[in-house]
Amino acid sequence: MKNMEIINNINALNVLIEKDMALPVKVGYAINRNLKKLMAEYSIFEEERKKIVPTDYEKKTEEEKKEIDVKFNELANIEVDVEIYKIRLDDFGTCDSLSARDMLILDFMIED
């Protein structure tokens, strides 16, 4: 999974959590477990991002911004091994509180 995918998955899982809906125990557990793993990887990304992108980015010249952007994109596209806790569709039981969009968010943690 690329660093940018980690960020996107964190944001999407947080949207689900904010809905505060009743979920089957195993699904809720998987969401929280995976969110913690993703956040651990994100913290490493964030440390490196701070080294690359200065707080005064907007004051940089266009040439400097291009160099920063190239480095940031390289960081964002680094592949990271994240051991995702997988769940099965059976684990959802008769859960009818999840929309198709919610299921799409969870797709990366669902195994066949």
Residue 86 structure tokens = 């997988």
Q: Each residue of 25-54: b (16+ CB within 10 Å) or e? A: eebeebbeebbeebeebbeebeeeeeebbe
Question: Which has the minimum average pLDDT: 2-16, 39-53, 94-108?
Answer: 94-108
Residue-level pLDDT at 1 = 96
For residue 65 the two structure tokens come to 């911004």
pTM: 0.88
Task: Tell me the domain boundaries of the chain.
Answer: 3-111
* The pLDDT of residue 20: 87
**Averaged pLDDT for residues 65-70:** 97
pLDDT at 25: 92
Q: pLDDT tens across 43-54, in order?
A: 999 999 999 999
